[in-house]
Chain A
Amino acid sequence: MVSLRRDTGALALSFVLPVVFFSIFAVIFGGQRDSTPKVKVIVVDEDHSRVSERLVQGLMKEGSLKVKSRPEPVKGVEQPEYTAETAETAVKEGTAPVAVIIPHGFGENPIAFGPANPNRPTIQLLKDTSDMVAPQIVGGLLQKVAMTAMPDVMAEQGSKYFDDFAGGLTKEQRDRLNEGIRFLRERQENGAAAGDSGIGGGIVAVSERAVVGQNHDMVSFYAAAIGVMFLLFTASGAAGALLDEQESGTLDRVLSSHVTMTSLLLGKLAYNSLLAFLQLVVMFLWGWAVFKLDFWSHIPGFIVMGISTAVAVAAFGLLLASICKTRAQLGALSTLVILVMSSIGGSMFPRYFMSEAMQKAGLLTINAWAIDGFTKVFWRDEPVSHLWPQVLVLVSIAIVLFAIARRVARRWEYA
């Protein structure tokens, strides 16, 4: 007990780490009870009918959806509404995991009961398969909204089907039915909530189409996610050589030669970056050889993201090593920081499972930017030029962390 108390590293690992982790998971998953993460969905209304507008309004009222009909304003200038093409591009770029395209003519025949009519307009649901949850949520909610936001349309369509298949209603029955439909329409137009109608039945024809990741499986995502986490561990371990050198006196001897602290740290940054990059190469090659990851057609993007990620994790490792005084401290601190970063940065589970606040917090981690970049390359098949935000952030992180590490390392420079 006394030994444990005096070993701050072991003490931290034993008590602080579990508490920190518990707290993070509690925030990520426990917080969702109150605020389920909203699914972003792009809606394109090509029909512009009374029915399609009601459907869009119904979707907008859904608390679990964040519906967008046009891109964010650019420099205060409002952008034009999404079209089917721009919506597909937006899904490919990761702006939203799902887009709903309501086609021309939808309002004339929105709901189908009985045998399918091949000529009936069908809502298209464009999806990014990297998010396995969002398309299912949107698909289900489309049906729900159709049933609850358009009860009058449902009743109207239902009577048509009755006319077609059961021989029609008497005049008296027809008048009473029309009166009911009129009531429902007025009620909806007077602002009844989407969910309080209580009227069931009816089906909206929806066809799903994967526009991203249709040719890939999740291996590339996990290769990046797990790879970055282990890169961080390797980089902090490799940077720990500084502490070994300091303890053995080798650092003093090296610094009494021509080597300055800046050149020493730059050398270590270069070596640790190379090591991290090679680790990524091995991991992705393994993914190609064993899990059929499409590695060879993504080489340029892999190199760009691999180098950016490697430099960032190497600088991160140097910073941790320069802060710590012993290997034990480094082991404890790196385990704590890396596991926290990996959990909120998306290495342990995809960030779209998290609340918006946690997703934003994840952007403070190397993991999130690296995974986003690799996803662009391997999942979205985006060109190298589209990687600039991730590269810019990762390289900036590397520069800032290295500058801090250099500053902290002054304590080794002279007595």
Chain B
Amino acid sequence: MKRFGQVTAVDGITLELRAGECLGLLGPNGAGKSTLIRSIVGRVIPDEGTISVFGSPADSVEARNTLGWIPQELALYPRLTCRENLQAFGRYHGMSGGALDQAVDHCLGWATLTDRVGELVKNLSGGMKRRLNMAAGLIHQPKLVLMDEPTVGVDPQSRNHIFEMIEKLRDEGMSLIYTTHYMEEAERLCDRVAIVDHGKVIALGTNAELVQNAFGSRSTVLARFAGADERTNDRVAAWVAERGGQAVDGSAQFTVEHPTEIAGLLESSAKEGFELVDVSLRKPNLESVFLHLTGRELRD
């Protein structure tokens, strides 16, 4: 457990990460994800409880050797070159000589920065800085890597490239903990996902398990009707409420067990005199689960 003043940032979280697994951490802003990550890397001392990394205390040298941390910030030296940055962080982890040179070359290749090796970091593009930031967290070849929103602020091409880098790590058998706000990242990269809110894990499982647990086999039907005046909207809202659905921005939203239920809904709307514009059937996804569990209200 970790408190900052009156706020409980982490409240009794127990997580198990399997070898070679990528575990996603999802949660609204202030849910406690970064505090959890920082606790694991030994930068936050819990008020209660202990954190062990491969059997060693989180702030021990043994734990630091096995952990790689890729922070949300671009934690690099802007006036050093790419190579000099990696050499510096390698030395901080006790590396030297040929082993360090080899690790630097490997990480530069992994981050596709070999042709920028002598470039000052301050002159790199945002995507390159992000990739170097990731490489710096892997320079000492850890067994477990914690990535805290590594794709913040990069363009789609760079993001896709970063996904490929992470997939390569997964293929090599590295264990990963990955925090993000982007659901499609979690769906693409993570074997399992933990949804964190108010410092607690409120859901844990594979993507399919989370959807199944939250919605079962139900799907969402969204129907939009002609006429955007207040009177029509009120009539639609009354009809939707009567049928157990939700009115969202003038549209009607229902949860159905089987797609065949759509016909009954359309027939009922016709009887009410609503002019249907379009209707869609949506299978729930991770975002649906996330919003379902954490709500739609703004957190900050």
Chain A residues with a Cβ under 8 A of chain B: 248-250, 252-259, 414-415
What A residues does B77 contact at CB under 8 A? 250
Give chain A nearest CB distance to B283 CB in angstroms: 39
| Cα(A415)–Cα(B9), bound, Å | 12
Q: Which of A249, A258, A415 is the one whose CB lies under 8 Å from B61?
A: A258
Interface residue B247 (Cβ < 8 Å from any Cβ of A) = no
Q: How far is the CB of B14 from chain A (nearest CB, A)?
A: 21
Among B41-49, B158-166, B213-221, B237-245, the stretch in contact with A? B41-49
Distance in Å from the Cβ of B122 to the closest Cβ of chain A? 11
Chain B residues whose CB sits within 8 angstroms of the CB of A258 once the complex forms: 61, 64, 92-94
B80 CB to nearest chain A CB (Å): 10
A-B CB proximity, top 9 nearest: A249-B73, A249-B75, A257-B92, A253-B75, A415-B44, A250-B75, A256-B41, A414-B45, A257-B93
* Interfacial chain B residues near A257, Cβ < 8 Å: 64, 89, 92-93, 140
The answer to whether B92 and A249 touch across the interface, beta carbons within 8 angstroms, is no
| Complex interface: chain B residues within 8 A of A415 (CB) | 4, 35, 38, 43-45
B290 CB-CB contact with A under 8 Å = no
Q: Which of B64, B69, B76, B89 contacts A248 (CB 8 A)?
A: B76
The chain A residue with its CB closest to the CB of B72 is A249
CB-CB nearest in chain B for A250: B75
How many residues of chain B get a CB closer than 8 Å to chain A's CBs?
28
Q: What are 13 A-B pairs with beta-carbon distances under 8 A?
A: A248-B73, A248-B74, A248-B78, A249-B71, A249-B75, A253-B71, A253-B137, A254-B89, A258-B93, A258-B94, A414-B42, A414-B43, A415-B4
Q: B42's contact among A248, A250, A256, A259, by CB below 8 Å, is which?
A: A256
| CB-based contact B71/A252 at 8 Å | yes
Complex: A259 Cα to B78 Cα, angstroms: 20
Q: A248-B75, A258-B64 are in contact. List 7 more A-B contacts (CB 8 A).
A: A249-B75, A253-B69, A253-B71, A254-B92, A257-B92, A257-B93, A258-B92
Cα(A252)–Cα(B73), bound, Å: 10
Residue of B nearest to A253 (CB): B75
The answer on a CB contact under 8 Å between A256 and B74 is no
In the assembly, what is the distance between CA of A320 and CA of B76, in Å? 24
Residue B136, interface by CB 8 Å: yes
- CB pair B93–A252 under 8 Å, yes or no, is no
User: Closest residue to A415 on the B side, CB-wise?
Assistant: B44
**A339 to B290 CA separation, bound complex (whole angstroms):** 58
Smallest CB separation, A410 vs chain B (Å): 12
Instruction: Give the residues in chain A near B61, CB-CB below 8 Å.
Output: 258
Distance between A337 CB and nearest chain B CB, rounded to angstroms: 27
B59: nearest chain-A partner, CB-CB? A414
Q: Which of A250, A257, A414 has the most CB of B within 10 A?
A: A257
The CA of A259 and the CA of B64, in the complex, are separated in Å by 10
Interface residues of B in 126-152 (CB under 8 A from A): 136-137, 140
B64 touches A252 (CB 8 A): no
Q: How far is the CA of A372 from the CA of B72 in the complex (A)?
A: 50
Return A201 CB to nearest CB of chain B, in Å: 75
Residues from chain A with Cβ under 8 Å of B94 in the complex: 258
For residue A54, give the distance in angstroms from its CB to the closest CB of chain B. 73
**Chain B residue at minimum C-beta to C-beta distance from A256:** B41
User: B44: which A residues are within 8 A, CB to CB?
Assistant: 414-415
B35 — nearest CB in chain A belongs to which residue? A415
Which residue from B4, B92, B136 sits with its C-beta under 8 Å from A259? B92
Give the residues in chain A near B4, CB-CB below 8 Å: 415
Name the CB-closest residue of A to B71: A249
Residues of A within 8 A of B78 (CB): 248
- The answer to whether A250 touches B76, judged by C-beta atoms less than 8 angstroms apart, is yes
Q: How far is the CA of A162 from the CA of B38 in the complex (A)?
A: 100
Q: Which of B43, B44, B72, B93 has the most CB of A within 10 A?
A: B43
Q: How far is the CA of A415 from the CA of B94 in the complex (A)?
A: 24
